[in-house]
Amino acid sequence: MTQTQTRLQNFVGGHWEPSRAAEVQPVINPATAQTLADVPLTTAQEVDRAVQAAEAAFHEWREVAVGDRIQPLFKLKALIEEHIEDLARTITDECGKTRAESIGEIRRGIENIEVATGIPMLMQGYNNENIASGIDEHMFRQPLGVVAAITPFNFPAMIPLWFLPYAVATGNAFLLKPSERVPLTTEKLFRLIEQAGFPAGVLSLVNGGKDVVNALLDHPQVRAISFVGSTPVARSIYERGAKNGKRVQAQGGAKNPAVILPDADMEMAATILADSAFGCAGQRCLATSVAITVGGGRKAFTDLMVDLAQSRRVGYGFDEGVQMGPVINEQSKERVEGLIEKGVQEGARAIVDGRQAKVPGYEQGYFVGPTLLENVPPQGEIARTEIFGPVLSLMHAANVDEAIRLVNERAFGNQASLFTSSGAAARKFRHEVRAGNIGINIGVAAPIAYFPFSGWGDSFFGDLHAQGRHGVEFYTETKVVVERWPREWSRTF
């Protein structure tokens, strides 16, 4: 299929099929404001059919040898690599990223496929002989059944791949509900999945919004839900899923601070933080949105940031030299600009103001230029609200303890970074700071696929996180077998 097809389909039971939903939503290129396709808002009845098809497939799939279950993943990795440019262009067109950012997220997704091909070892249990005389005990890991993931708009390729490879390699049937704002990348991914050799029904794609999510949360045959999105939705998904007896991991929003000590390499810190704050137009859950300078170095850091913010080239992500694309849609642009205004009302100074940014040739696009707010009051709304746009708030602390206190006052705990050349300061920071992902001289501390993506606080609801061993544990349940084989019985032969 090409992007000229207007109405997207679902992939259920190994077939593409149109949804019977009356309602559709347009998929819009945020750089041009043009409609790329319509996505159906699939109904609860259709979700039930997809779950039934997945359940049927699960009973066959769990019997497939573990070494055979990973073979389609090798094929899928090769297919994604072969089609990486096409996938990247689709991400850029529906999500607004630059080409490099789109390629980068696909690569991070591929890493999860690679890790999941290690399932024959990762899924192993453990055992003990003679826990009592003639009695042995074994722990096995078994798949759960039908599991589902609900994903956000900002990483249309990578985030589904945080879950899908682990879920199927461990023997589950997996159903994906992508963000209705960016369903085209998933559509392309499933065209490749179709060729990779998974049996029908093991992987399903159901497009839609809230109704699909609620149908999944309430469906008795869905055993586990993986969610990534904003905090209010993550919290409600966790509550509703848990109430219905499901295993739930729900990753939420963020407000990530970086602390810059006076002994940091200022040029390196500013360059890295400009990429962290303005990369993907600030629409990353690991974007730094607050920079706290400590002691001296404030002026040097601020001057460097002003230069980097003003010189960043904004535009359509596949155009040569573009470093930052638009935000996802018109409401998002209005919201981000409204929050900048709110910051100014609270007493901050917009030393670089990206409101009303216009890009020649893309006058209809939803662009917000890089923005720097200085003297942001720590107790104000702007210091605490997730802006999810290219806005960096600058604050200052007298010493490291005050900076750590400012960091730990937040409700979110996705990431915190420190820039320093002092090992002792780095150790103190990583020990005392309340966040699940810590960067030391790193601006986007995104855990590689074989480590868990460890949000804390209001950035995560649940226990086991996405990726690596946590993914394997989340998608399996343990079965312990205690068996007695009295020694004297063997004497009968």
Q: Residue 186 Cβ, how far from ligand NAD at the closest point, in Å?
A: 11
Question: Can you tell me which of 163, 198, 388, 429 binds ligand NAD, judged by CB under 6 A?
Answer: 388
**Contact at 8 Å (CB) between 322 and 425?**
no
Show the site string, 295-334: x = touches ligand NAD by CB under 6 A, - = not.
Answer: ----------------------------------------
Cβ neighbours around 279 below 10 Å, total: 25
Q: Which stretch binds ligand NAD (CB under 6 A): 16-24, 82-90, 144-152, 472-480?
A: 144-152
Q: Least separation, in Å, of the C-beta of 252 and ligand NAD? A: 6
Sign of CA dihedral 437, 144, 105, 328: negative
Is the CB of 101 or the CB of 180 nearer to ligand NAD?
180
Give the Cβ contact number of residue 4 at 10 Å: 7
* Run of H or E including 111: helix 99-116
CB atoms inside a 10 Å sphere around CB 491: 7
Determine, following the binding rule CB under 6 A, whether residue 30 of this chain makes contact with ligand NAD. no
List 43, 154, 276, 293, residue binding ligand NAD (CB under 6 A)? 154
Nearest to residue 141, comparing CAs of 464, 469, 477? 477
Among 93, 337, 386, 473, binds ligand NAD (CB under 6 A): 386
Ranked by CB distance to ligand NAD, the top (closest) residue is 229
Query: 311 by DSSP, 3-state: which?
Result: helix
Task: Measure the CA–CA gap between 385 and 37, rounded to whole angstroms.
Answer: 32
Q: Should residue 160 be labelled a site residue for ligand NAD when binding is judged by CB under 6 A?
A: no
The torsion of the CA quartet 454, 457, 459, 460, rounded to 10 degrees, works out to: 60
With CB under 6 A as the contact rule, which of the stretches 187-195, 416-424, 441-449, 453-461 interacts with ligand NAD? 453-461
Please identify which of the residues 119, 217, 285, 290 carries the catalytic annotation.
285
Q: Which of 95, 173, 285, 433 binds ligand NAD (CB under 6 A)?
A: 285
* By CB under 6 A, residue 459 contacts ligand NAD: yes
Q: Which is nearer to ligand NAD, 104 or 152 (CB)?
A: 152
Residue 151 sits in the site that holds ligand NAD (CB under 6 A): yes
Number of alpha carbons in the 13 Å side-chain half-sphere of residue 151: 26
Minimum distance of ligand NAD from residue 98's CB (angstroms): 18
Q: Measured from the CB atom, is 186 or 420 closer to ligand NAD?
A: 186
CB of 210 to ligand NAD, least distance (A): 4
Please classify residue 474 by burial: count the beta carbons closer than 10 Å to its beta carbon, then call 0-12 exposed, 13-18 middle and 19+ buried: buried
Residue 364 region by backbone torsions, left for phi larger than 0, else alpha for psi between -120 and 50, else beta: alpha
Nearest alpha carbon to residue 440 among 430, 431, 450: 430
CB nearer to ligand NAD: pick between 72 and 209: 209
**Contact by Cβ (8 Å): 145, 58:** yes
Write down the least CB distance from residue 320 to ligand NAD, Å: 28
Q: Name the minimum Å distance from CB 268 to ligand NAD.
A: 26
Interface mask toward ligand NAD for 243-262; x: CB under 6 A? --------xxxx--------
Q: Which residues, numbered 214-243, are part of the site for ligand NAD (CB under 6 A)?
A: 228-230, 233
Q: Count the neighbouring beta carbons within 10 Å of the beta carbon of residue 372.
A: 27
Identified binder of ligand NAD from the candidate list 58, 61, 153, 429, rule CB under 6 A: 153
Closer residue to ligand NAD (CB): 162 or 419? 162
Angstrom distance (rounded) from CA 288 to CA 297? 19
Binding mask 179-218 for ligand NAD (x = CB under 6 A): xx----------------------------xx--x-----
Considering only 23-31, 117-125, 148-156, 426-434, which stretch makes contact with ligand NAD by CB under 6 A? 148-156
Q: What is the DSSP string of 153-222?
A: SS-TTHHHHHHHHHHHHTT-EEEEE--TTSHHHHHHHHHHHHHHTPPTTSEEE---SHHHHHHHHH-TTE
Q: What is the distance between the alpha carbons of residues 204 and 16, in angstroms, rounded to a whole number?
A: 10
Could you say whether residue 10 binds ligand NAD (CB under 6 A)?
Answer: no
Q: CA-CA distance, 473 to 480, in Å (whole number)?
A: 15
Q: Does 270 bind ligand NAD (CB under 6 A)?
A: no
272 to 52, 314, 383: CA distances (angstroms): 48, 18, 21
Active site annotation includes 285: yes
Does the protein bind ligand NAD through residue 455 (CB under 6 A)?
A: yes
8 A C-beta contact, residue 374 and residue 333: no
Residue of 143, 145, 152, 183 that binds ligand NAD (CB under 6 A): 152
Which lies closer to ligand NAD via its Cβ, residue 206 or residue 261? 206
Residues 393-452 that bind ligand NAD (CB under 6 A): 414
| Cα–Cα dist 444/406, whole Å | 19
Number of residues that bind ligand NAD (CB under 6 A): 27
* Active-site residue set: 285
Return residues touching ligand NAD (CB under 6 A): 150-155, 177, 179-180, 209-210, 213, 228-230, 233, 251-254, 285, 386, 388, 414, 453, 455, 459
